[in-house]
Amino acid sequence: MKVVITTSELRPLLAKKSSPKTRVLVPTMGSLHEGHLALIHRARKIARAEGVVILSLFVNPTQFDQADDLRHYPRALEQDLALCKKHGVDIVFAPESGDIYHSDHSVTVTESSLSQRLCGASRPGHFDGVCTVVLKLFNLTQPDVAIFGKKDYQQLVIIRRMVRDLNIPICIEGVETVREKNGLALSSRNQRLSEQQHSDAQRIRSALLAAQTAHQQGEKSAQSLLNTIRKIIESSELDVEIDYLELLDQDNLKPIETLSSPSIIATAVFYGPVRLIDNIELD
């Protein structure tokens, strides 16, 4: 496994590309867990033994809307590198911020439709930062395929739109959310939960499953399904606040009042200062 920390080291390493070999990128912000490993395994399967799997470890400052969140974001470089080596990553790209962004950088990629709701609405500028850094990583690594998790569903849809609209020759693969035994979606932020919060946070998944069951039993009213979820989450005795809770079309992320097409329920919930996101698809 090759570890690269600067763009100048990366360029010659990837300059010559043998066309039969598939190159797959797994963009991450580090502090790897089983969810990230699922992305790596999918990348390895696509690349096959002869292909190249590249994983980026970069806590992107431009996608954080709160300095405190950036400051407390978990970092575990040595552990991450050990996991990458164990699970078949060929190249780890772990740059410093100054090597990705010039001190006077002034160009940003902006998505103006899909990013207006959910995390985009509650975290101004977040997806500008996401799109900008992902496009940079695409340009630097020139992959055939890039792997993203479905837990960040809005991010996945926006990246697919960016690839489509900017004619980027990359296939975007989405991987199902990996969960803890209690159903809580794996996240680097779970480390910041207290034991009591961690146990209680399983109610997010339970609430989403309750809405899915109601839908399977014939409920088509978005408001009714969202009320089911809200009631379960807000019954917590802890300091819990719903940041957003919406039922949207899976493709264009527009709100749906009566279900008649594939949709998704997405939510973000605060446990104290820790923000957790999750979703469930309704087909």
DSSP one-letter code for 252: T
The catalytically annotated residue of 36, 87, 126, 215 is: 36
- Cα dihedral 250, 253, 255, 260, rounded to 10, equals -20
For the question of residue 36 being annotated catalytic, the response is yes
Token readout for 280 is 């469930």
Question: For the purposes of burial, counting CB atoms within 10 Å of the CB of 281, is it exposed (0-12), middle (13-18) or buried (19 or more)?
Answer: middle
| Cα–Cα separations (whole angstroms), residue 165 to 58, 109, 219 | 25, 12, 35
Torsion of CA 151, 157, 158, 161, to 10 degrees: 160
What gap in Å lies between CA 231 and CA 91, rounded to an integer? 46
Cα–Cα distances (Å) from 147 to 22, 46, 103, 144, 218, in that order, read 13, 10, 29, 10, 34
Residues annotated as catalytic (active site), given as ranges: 36
